[in-house]
């Protein structure tokens, strides 16, 4: 059993712990018992895949709480599913002292967090991430939301959890494709904020959930994310700030939207998006072509895609980018690397240059 570590997320209005280690179930149950002792009613939202993979957690530890199973996959981040969650919270007679436990990947965390943010104008919730993506990214920092036809995460709210429990044992239950997908957010953090992390992953890639470095690497990523959130909780900085965490995402979200949610796992689309962002950084004169090669090699080393599986039309991808939530005053904001390990935001890029970048990853006219 590994040492249990804590990373504290500090924001203007709250502070909460991220607990990281193996076998955190007992510690979680102690907090839940304390909440119940104070009169709080608890409910669980559980990813269907997580419930199937780790049934003992839900049968033995959480079975006394009303629960709602959420189908796995990005399509669950929908208006329809959001409505069902709200109806579930109401049917469970949750009041303003209630607490939602969001158990699963980023989909359940985003959906459950948004429901908690809006039900009775805001109730508490706890994140229990079971995937790499949710452990190092989506469970931290309070971004919650759902997708609509026009684009990903266009409806949402900032709503911080009261705690995050990252039990590394959950990673052993992930299908290989899901595990690999999550590594995109880890390499992203290295590319935008920490060259040492990037070099570690490039030189000795993570191969599976049994890698004994995972606990330390997850903690490292949580520290990066927590520092960015503390400095710019609601992504209001004029430049840089929390927006830097979107490296590769303007491209990646467009891929998810145009291909159809679920065709690419989030991390798979972001892997390709990181390649596109690297090419853009080079074309704008920030990094050398050799750096692009290093980035592509590192992404490939983690077995993430670097090229579209099937061609998508550039016009469709570009239109999806214009609907991205990062667009301001009609201008698409991009995150670029000034060097590997240091990122910056730019307010626009020439449309034809963006089209050329899409061609480098397999899009067609």
* Longest CA span, the chain: 61
Write down the catalytic residue from 242, 279, 283, 326: 242
Please, which residues have CB within 8 angstroms of residue 146's CB and are 6 or more apart in sequence? 77, 78, 79, 81, 82, 110, 111, 114, 153, 155, 156
Q: What is the DSSP letter of 4?
A: P
333 in catalytic set: no
235 in catalytic set: yes
Question: Distances from the Cα of 237 to the Cαs of 230, 293, 346, in angstroms?
Answer: 12, 31, 13
Write down the catalytic residue from 77, 81, 124, 143: 143
225 in catalytic set: yes
Residue with tokens 């959480």: 62
Write down the catalytic residue from 74, 178, 185, 223: 185
48 in catalytic set: no
234 in catalytic set: no
Write down the catalytic residue from 188, 225, 279, 283: 225
- As a whole number of angstroms, the distance between CA 237 and CA 229 comes to 11
Write down the catalytic residue from 188, 189, 249, 283: 249
Spatial contact of 311 and 249, defined as CB atoms under 8 Å apart = no
Residue in 272, 260, 261 with CA at minimum distance from that of residue 307 = 272
CA angle centred on 110, ends 106 and 135, rounded to 5°: 35
Write down the catalytic residue from 74, 233, 235, 256: 235
Question: Beta 334-339 vs 342-346: how paired, if at all?
Answer: antiparallel
Write down the catalytic residue from 124, 189, 219, 266: 266
Please, which residues have CB within 8 angstroms of residue 249's CB and are 6 or more apart in sequence? 270, 273, 326, 335
φ and ψ at 163, to 5 degrees? -170, 155
Question: Distances from the Cα of 338 to the Cαs of 19, 245, 273, 341, 347, in angstroms?
Answer: 33, 14, 17, 8, 15
Write down the catalytic residue from 253, 279, 283, 326: 253
266 in catalytic set: yes
143 in catalytic set: yes
Provide the token pair at 218. Answer: 């997850």
Please, which residues have CB within 8 angstroms of residue 349's CB and are 6 or more apart in sequence? 280, 284, 332, 334
- As a whole number of angstroms, the distance between CA 131 and CA 134 comes to 5
Using DSSP's 3-state secondary structure scheme, residue 111 falls into helix
Residue-wise DSSP of 174-219: S-HHHHHHHHHHHHHHHHHH-HHHHHHHHHS---STT-TTHHHHHH
59 in catalytic set: no
Write down the catalytic residue from 64, 121, 210, 328: 121
172 in catalytic set: no
188 in catalytic set: no
Which residues does the annotation mark as catalytic? 121, 143, 185, 225, 235, 242, 246, 249, 253, 266
């Amino acid at each position: 059993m590994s040492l249990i570590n804590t990373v504290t997320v500090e924001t203007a209005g709250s502070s909460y712990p991220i607990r990281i280690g193996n076998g955190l179930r007992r510690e979680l149950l102690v907090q839940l018992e304390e909440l119940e002792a104070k009169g709080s009613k608890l409910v669980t939202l559980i990813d269907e895949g997580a419930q199937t993979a780790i049934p003992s957690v839900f049968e033995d530890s959480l079975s006394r709480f009303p629960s709602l199973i959420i189908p796995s996959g990005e399509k669950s981040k929908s208006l329809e599913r959001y409505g069902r969650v709200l109806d579930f919270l109401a049917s469970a007679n949750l009041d303003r002292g209630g607490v939602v436990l969001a158990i699963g990947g980023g989909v359940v965390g985003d959906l459950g967090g948004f429901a908690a943010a809006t039900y009775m104008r805001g109730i508490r919730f706890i994140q229990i991430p079971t995937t790499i993506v949710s452990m190092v990214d989506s469970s931290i920092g309070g971004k919650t939301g759902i997708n609509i036809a026009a684009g990903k995460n266009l409806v949402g709210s900032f709503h911080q959890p009261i705690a995050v429990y990252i039990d590394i044992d959950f990673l052993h239950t992930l299908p290989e494709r899901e595990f690999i997908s999550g590594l995109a957010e880890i390499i992203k953090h290295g590319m935008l904020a920490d060259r040492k992390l990037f070099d570690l992953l490039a030189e000795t890639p993570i191969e599976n959930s049994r890698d004994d470095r995972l606990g330390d690497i997850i903690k490292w990523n949580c520290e990066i994310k927590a520092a960015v959130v503390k400095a710019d909780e609601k992504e209001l900085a004029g430049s840089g700030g929390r927006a830097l965490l979107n490296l590769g995402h303007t491209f990646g979200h467009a891929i998810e939207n145009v291909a159809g949610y679920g065709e690419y796992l989030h991390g798979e689309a972001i892997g390709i998006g990181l390649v596109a962002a690297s090419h853009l950084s080079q074309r704008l004169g920030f990094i050398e072509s050799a750096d692009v090669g290093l980035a592509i090699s590192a992404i490939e080393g983690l077995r993430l895609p670097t090229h579209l599986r099937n061609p998508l039309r550039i016009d469709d991808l570009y239109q999806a980018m214009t609907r991205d939530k990062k667009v301001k005053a009609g201008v698409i904001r991009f995150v670029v690397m000034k060097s590997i390990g240091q990122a910056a935001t730019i307010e626009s890029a020439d449309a034809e240059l963006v089209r050329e970048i899409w061609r480098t990853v397999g899009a067609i006219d």
